[in-house]
Structure 1
Amino acid sequence: MAELAIEPRHRSAGQALYWGGGLLVLSLAVFAINLCGLLTPPGDALRQVMAEDMLLPRLVVSLLSGAGLGLAGVLFQQVLRNPLAEPGTLGVFAGAKCAVVVATLWLPGLLVLGWDVIALAGGGAAMAIVLLIAWRSDFSPLSLILAGLVVSLCLGALGSTLMMVNFDAVNDLYVWEAGSLVQNNWQVAVSLATRFAIVLFLTVLLTRRLELLDLEDAGARGLGVSLVTTRLFAIVVAVAISASVAGFVGLIGFIGLAGPAIARQAGARRLRDRLWAGPLIAAALLTITDQTLFLLSDGMEIPAGAVCAFLAAPMLLWLLRSFKGDQHETVSLATAERSPLTYPAVLSRLALSFVLLLAVAAVALTLGRTPDGWHLAVGSDFTELLHWRLPRVGAAAAAGLMFALAGVIMQKLTGNALASPELLGVSSGAGLLLVVASFFLPAVDRGTMMLLSCAGAFTALVILLWLGRRTAFRSEHLLLSGVALGSIMAAMLTYLTSLGDPRILRVLAWLSGSISSVTLRETVLMSLGALVALCLVPLTARWLLILPLGGAVSGSLGVPERHSRVALLSLTAALTGTATIVVGPLSFVGLMAPHLARMSGFRTPVVQTFAAGILGAILMVSADWIGRTIAFPWQVPAGLVSTILGGAFFAALLVRR
């Protein structure tokens, strides 16, 4: 596996200083405007207090927070040899969020230790999980990014669901999650300054050893460097400062990536140059954002963290255009493949899978929990409960089948075994348009929502493939494009939740993958759509077989590449958009089902697609039943259950690579 690398332009390190200095001057200029506004007219005691105890601490906190995240990004990137590593993409923020939510709900006594301590424990635990998953692959860049992405998605989904279920109890956490830099005294500024100074001192002590990590491992060991100790100590330092920032001011995503990336592009190639340029640029970026929001908000508080993430996502997409490496590099997470199945074996296994689906559906329709314990519904009980359970089971099966079909088509379309609607941001594109429509458009029916969702998925797919074609759909590019698209939706959602609007509850319930509100009519429509998609699959068999071979081969074999891709894109967008309406943007079924089908011996496109569809339906029906019974009388959304199961499955695949 080739390492990720960014090819810097031929610039000197001094130009990184100009970048950082220029941005810092700009941020201080905006601060000066805000300060003059508060001190005009002179002699106003209240405005004087606001300037001294609100605006000045806010400036210091924004500078320290940005510098701390930038420093953490540089350390992560150096130790892991991955210029795309930062606290957000490695699961630190998601772990911090879960820890703070759990402590607030069930362990309030721990809050006396401070949110920063709790965030440090959660972020450290999440980072440890990421390292354990990527350990067997020698911490390769792709494995680390995948592990971090999976841990972030799973822990983020868990934290969001806990916040949704306990909306009133954790209402204050929504502002914290958005990354608010509002201050009313100097306490946070002093605490952050103390911790940043300690971390900076430790980094200076580590600098020489970290520079030797640029050598091959054998060369570094020959010079007396303990690789394990150096990497572990640097990771602890990076987690400590990033989790401290998260605990004090909230989750500010992508600043830890943007600062070091801009410094590298500006010419800071050596570690020593990046260690000052990266934090300086990150601090200036965050301060510019926060001070500009203060200037333009006219008294309404807009969390800087959400806006920074929203602005930094296009920067991440821009950085993808600068990567170098093997243009034909792809990846497969499948285990060692078996010999192809014979035709009778294919039919028998498909029949067995279908019987298993019927059995799982029967269990979901008949077996459940009541206040008196487990209950098997038969006779009149079954008839009475069928009205409630049948729509859920049917919708879950149809959504799982649609996500699975979309996953197979995307993997064949890109020739990449990591492609799926959830990982590549296609589901997030569908969700983004729905979130916007829920707040800024009049109330619409479910049919209109499905059209909007399909339009969002199609737009995300077009952007994804446009970026991916430049590098033959390399796994890193596809995954990080998905990260960027997902971050845009997360930033929008974070900002909206911080407003406290009650309409966000409906959006949060949908994003978590709750099927409880689906109706029989909607289930019938979804089932018909799934059947139509299954009927269309045999018509695309030749395309799915030839397109992964590349454009030149496809053209020579008479496959109209452009028309076939557009048709498959449209089908994938329709499947993803419709399924996203029911189970939310995260489920991992689109990734799990195709791999399970391949590992079961189904290889040819049509057979694999049918098998994946059945397995996807089984997975989603099982997830809905588990969510309905595991925490009775409360219900855990099916999307969350399938995300956790899918995350565990994906982590197992990474470990077995």
Structure 2
Amino acid sequence: MTARLLPFALLAALLWAMAALHLLPLAQWPAWPLDPARMDIPQILLGFGLMPRGVVALLAGAGLGLSGAILQAVLRNPVADPTTLGISAGAQLALVIATMLAPSLLDGGRWPVAMTGAGLAAGLVLAIGARRGFAPVTMVIAGMLVGMTASAVATAMTLARGEYLLSLVIWNGGSLVQGDWSGVRVLAGVLAFGAVASALLARPLRVLSLGAEGASGLGLNVAGVRLLAVGVAVVLAGAVSAELGLIAFVGLAAPALARTMGAASIPRLLALSPLIGALILSVCDGLVLLVADHVGEMFPTGALTGLIGGPLLIWLLPRLRGSTPPGTERAEGPAPRRDRPAPLLAGMALALVIAALVLVWIGRVPGGWAVLDAESAAAFLPMRLPRLIAAAAAGASLAIAGAILQRLTANPLASPEVLGVSGGAAMGYAGVVYLAAAPTAAMLMMGTMAGGAVTLAMVAAFVSRREMPAERVLLAGIAVSALAAAVLSAAMAAGDARSFQILGWLSGSSSAVTMPGALALATLAAVLWAGALAARRWLAVLPLGAGIAGGLGLPLRRARLLLIALAGMATGAATVLVGPLSFVGLMAPHLARRLGLARPGDHVAGAALIGAGLMLAADFGARMAGFPYDLPLGLFASLIGAPWLIWLMTRPPR
């Protein structure tokens, strides 16, 4: 089995040796032990830079591989790893917050902060999973969404503090650059701890593989073993995040490849996964060094490892055993149904108009809060009105897309963010930025709309060909989102002007919107709204299932394609303004349904009005919280959406 790894080990060694020889001929390599007083600059770069970097790649890869193997074994979930369960993103967010808001916390090192963030993220995901019996689909959905939220907040905070921008962008991408051997010593100690702990856990994990009931019957403390195993995995992943930043999906790939090589038992899985993880990260870092030697630019290795995660997760989906995810209508209980929704919709529309007027007249001035007089309001109106119109139109578009997707997939957890539509729209935006010499607003909007529609079509085609249940649509979309995040991370790590344009857009801002752009977005939202209302019969029948819909004469293929295109265009148009993550598309349709707007037309209308109101609130917060500077709109939308998402997924089934 290990003989099959020999070519990869030779490749990793060859790539590192090529980088080392490019830096310094073999005859001039420094002798051991290394003494910087007797070394010139190239020798110091080799002995205290490239050499520890090569060892750190092996140690970090081994740690992530072992962490993923432990998580997959204890949760009986083949797509669990520190990335898919949000552990690495939790550590990343904690370190970003500490760096910006409380740097004194880092005086004792980054470890305590990283472990706290990783532990809190893991605890949240485990709490959600425990309410649903640790179902694999539930765990991955919860973990990926917690991770997406943490990454979105970290990105927005990074953008908001310009003095940390470049260093945090590179660090968030997972940089293996070393300046001494301290990282090697730290990670070696952590890996030794993980090896001992995994050896002690191997037998309990074998018993747990029989199932919780069977293991309890044999006298195993199931809860204790789960906590210990997850704790070890968190320590391994948190240590790597503290030293190197966010390195994605090595913990997912290593155990998957170990199984394909015949590691059927848990002891073999725990033994082989660290070796494969070490080789994966080492080869990826060698490729980064090779590219840097030829083009002169260095980008974080973690950005490259992330590119394998999305395709690998999609490949693993047919092999994932799962159950219905949380949040289905049956689990939440029947939603109320309002007989006369017209008065409620009229009241919501009136409240939206009043809120917009209030937001025009109130604000902050150097002396504090104030209600503007008529002259000041007239002066500020040309600046405030476009962004209010644009924010409301973007919120309505995302809500319409969410309502369509939830009915199309018959799954109330579906939303543009979850199904990868926002990620595809983000790649479309980045593609226009990099391919067009001087991209216009119209080009950027067309690119994001096309990216969203194409991505959703690909996800739907992938799932329909394999006849997967509705919850697999969510995981396929999350895999696309992960791939999109990796592509964007690799693009931004280059550090040129286009990278910072993409980074600024990721957090979302309406500060630069013009009146023509706002009116165009509002017109498009109205057209999409009308299209969704025209398709209300399809939206009423599709949640009943393909069999019933086909029996009622619904043109399934055409209906799905048109609805996919509609949702993709709505998401793409809104994403240009608010960035790829806001959760408005998840919240607004839920709130509308809970208000009794059950009929498709009422549901879409109510969701659109609620989405517009939520985005107005987010825009107001973005303007006021950091006065006199505008903070990222996407950050505030995410902060509104994250508590709702967590509450939704922690509700016990009925």
TM-score normalised to the size of structure 1?
A: 0.92
Given that 1:364 and 1:622 are in contact with CA atoms closer than 8 Å, whether structure 2 keeps it comes out as no
Q: After TM superposition, give the deviation of residue 472 of structure 1 in Å.
A: 4.3
Q: 1:517 to 1:464 in 2, by over 3 A?
A: same
Equivalent position of 2:71 in the other structure: 76
The correspondence for 1:316, drawn from 300, 303, 313, is: 313
1:283 and 2:278 matched: yes
Q: After TM superposition, give the deviation of residue 339 of structure 1 in Å.
A: 4.5
Equivalent position of 1:577 in the other structure: 572
Equivalent position of 1:11 in the other structure: none
Secondary structure, counterpart of 2:495 in structure 1: coil
Given that 2:433 and 2:444 are in contact with CA atoms closer than 8 Å, whether structure 1 keeps it comes out as no
What are the Cα deviations for residues 308-360 of structure 1, in whole angstroms up to 9, with x where unaligned? Answer: 10133222222223335679999448732244321xx2112211221221232
Q: 1:446 to 1:145 in 2, by over 3 A?
A: same
Equivalent position of 1:274 in the other structure: 269
1:296 and 2:314 matched: no
Q: After TM superposition, give the deviation of residue 22 of structure 1 in Å.
A: 4.2
1:152 and 2:147 matched: yes
- Stretch deviating more after TM superposition (171-180 or 517-526): 171-180
Given that 1:333 and 1:653 are in contact with CA atoms closer than 8 Å, whether structure 2 keeps it comes out as no
Q: After TM superposition, give the deviation of residue 209 of structure 1 in Å.
A: 1.5
Counterpart residue identity of residue 320, structure 2? F
Counterpart CA distance in 2 for 1:121 and 1:480 is: 27
Q: Number of aligned residue pairs: give it.
A: 640
Given that 1:416 and 1:473 are in contact with CA atoms closer than 8 Å, whether structure 2 keeps it comes out as no
TM-score normalised to the size of structure 2?
A: 0.92
Given that 2:53 and 2:178 are in contact with CA atoms closer than 8 Å, whether structure 1 keeps it comes out as yes
Q: After TM superposition, give the deviation of residue 554 of structure 1 in Å.
A: 3.2
Given that 2:160 and 2:631 are in contact with CA atoms closer than 8 Å, whether structure 1 keeps it comes out as no
Counterpart residue identity of residue 234, structure 1? A
Counterpart CA distance in 2 for 1:597 and 1:234 is: 41
What are the Cα deviations for residues 399-438 of structure 1, in whole angstroms up to 9, with x where unaligned? Answer: 1111111111112222222221111110111111212322
Counterpart CA distance in 2 for 1:337 and 1:382 is: 46
Counterpart residue identity of residue 69, structure 2? V
Q: After TM superposition, give the deviation of residue 481 of structure 1 in Å.
A: 2.1
Once the two structures are superposed, the pairs formed by residues 145-544 of structure 1 within 5 Å of their partners are 145-298=140-293, 299-324=296-321, 331-332=328-329, 335-342=332-339, 345-472=340-467, 474-544=469-539
Counterpart residue identity of residue 304, structure 2? V
Equivalent position of 2:27 in the other structure: 42
Counterpart residue identity of residue 97, structure 2? V
The correspondence for 1:132, drawn from 127, 152, 160, is: 127
Counterpart CA distance in 1 for 2:481 and 2:364 is: 36
Given that 1:254 and 1:309 are in contact with CA atoms closer than 8 Å, whether structure 2 keeps it comes out as yes
Given that 1:329 and 1:474 are in contact with CA atoms closer than 8 Å, whether structure 2 keeps it comes out as no
Aligned residues with identical type, % of pairs: 37
Equivalent position of 1:23 in the other structure: 8
Counterpart CA distance in 1 for 2:244 and 2:625 is: 35
What are the Cα deviations for residues 134-164 of structure 1, in whole angstroms up to 9, with x where unaligned? Answer: 3333333233223222321222121111111
Counterpart CA distance in 1 for 2:285 and 2:546 is: 47
What are the Cα deviations for residues 370-406 of structure 1, in whole angstroms up to 9, with x where unaligned? Answer: 2222212342232222212111111111111111111
Equivalent position of 1:8 in the other structure: none
Q: After TM superposition, give the deviation of residue 79 of structure 1 in Å.
A: 2.0
What are the Cα deviations for residues 564-599 of structure 1, in whole angstroms up to 9, with x where unaligned? Answer: 222222211211111111111111111111111111
Counterpart residue identity of residue 649, structure 2? L
Equivalent position of 2:34 in the other structure: none
Q: After TM superposition, give the deviation of residue 21 of structure 1 in Å.
A: 4.3
Given that 2:169 and 2:492 are in contact with CA atoms closer than 8 Å, whether structure 1 keeps it comes out as yes
Counterpart CA distance in 1 for 2:285 and 2:107 is: 29
For structure 2, the residue ranges without an aligned partner over 5 or more in a row are 31-39
Counterpart CA distance in 1 for 2:50 and 2:164 is: 30
Once the two structures are superposed, the pairs formed by residues 95-106 of structure 1 within 5 Å of their partners are 95-106=90-101
What are the Cα deviations for residues 618-639 of structure 1, in whole angstroms up to 9, with x where unaligned? Answer: 1111111122223433333222
For structure 1, the residue ranges without an aligned partner over 5 or more in a row are 1-13
Q: 1:43 to 1:505 in 2, by over 3 A?
A: closer
Q: 1:244 to 1:412 in 2, by over 3 A?
A: same
- Stretch deviating more after TM superposition (298-307 or 234-243): 298-307
Q: After TM superposition, give the deviation of residue 250 of structure 1 in Å.
A: 1.6
Counterpart CA distance in 2 for 1:433 and 1:530 is: 19
Q: 1:203 to 1:114 in 2, by over 3 A?
A: same
Q: 1:134 to 1:320 in 2, by over 3 A?
A: closer
Given that 2:585 and 2:611 are in contact with CA atoms closer than 8 Å, whether structure 1 keeps it comes out as yes
Q: 1:477 to 1:262 in 2, by over 3 A?
A: farther
Given that 1:334 and 1:598 are in contact with CA atoms closer than 8 Å, whether structure 2 keeps it comes out as no
Given that 1:327 and 1:472 are in contact with CA atoms closer than 8 Å, whether structure 2 keeps it comes out as no
1:560 and 2:545 matched: no
- Stretch deviating more after TM superposition (20-29 or 432-441): 20-29
Secondary structure, counterpart of 1:374 in structure 2: strand
Given that 1:263 and 1:278 are in contact with CA atoms closer than 8 Å, whether structure 2 keeps it comes out as yes
Counterpart CA distance in 1 for 2:227 and 2:414 is: 32
Given that 1:592 and 1:649 are in contact with CA atoms closer than 8 Å, whether structure 2 keeps it comes out as yes
1:64 and 2:48 matched: no
Counterpart residue identity of residue 219, structure 2? G
Given that 2:432 and 2:443 are in contact with CA atoms closer than 8 Å, whether structure 1 keeps it comes out as no
Given that 2:66 and 2:233 are in contact with CA atoms closer than 8 Å, whether structure 1 keeps it comes out as yes
Q: After TM superposition, give the deviation of residue 473 of structure 1 in Å.
A: 5.1
Counterpart residue identity of residue 308, structure 2? L
- Stretch deviating more after TM superposition (256-265 or 107-116): 107-116
Q: After TM superposition, give the deviation of residue 475 of structure 1 in Å.
A: 4.7
Counterpart CA distance in 1 for 2:500 and 2:297 is: 22
Counterpart CA distance in 2 for 1:637 and 1:75 is: 37
What are the Cα deviations for residues 25-59 of structure 1, in whole angstroms up to 9, with x where unaligned? Answer: 43234334445555646346666655544333222
Given that 1:134 and 1:143 are in contact with CA atoms closer than 8 Å, whether structure 2 keeps it comes out as yes
- Stretch deviating more after TM superposition (49-58 or 297-306): 49-58
Counterpart residue identity of residue 379, structure 1? A
1:615 and 2:615 matched: no
1:117 and 2:115 matched: no
Secondary structure, counterpart of 1:369 in structure 2: strand
Q: After TM superposition, give the deviation of residue 96 of structure 1 in Å.
A: 1.5
Q: After TM superposition, give the deviation of residue 241 of structure 1 in Å.
A: 1.0
Q: After TM superposition, give the deviation of residue 205 of structure 1 in Å.
A: 1.5
Equivalent position of 1:4 in the other structure: none
- Stretch deviating more after TM superposition (466-475 or 318-327): 318-327
Counterpart residue identity of residue 154, structure 1? T
Counterpart CA distance in 1 for 2:633 and 2:165 is: 22
Q: 1:326 to 1:72 in 2, by over 3 A?
A: closer
1:85 and 2:85 matched: no
- Stretch deviating more after TM superposition (221-230 or 578-587): 221-230
Q: 1:332 to 1:74 in 2, by over 3 A?
A: farther
- Stretch deviating more after TM superposition (371-380 or 322-331): 322-331
Q: 1:557 to 1:338 in 2, by over 3 A?
A: closer
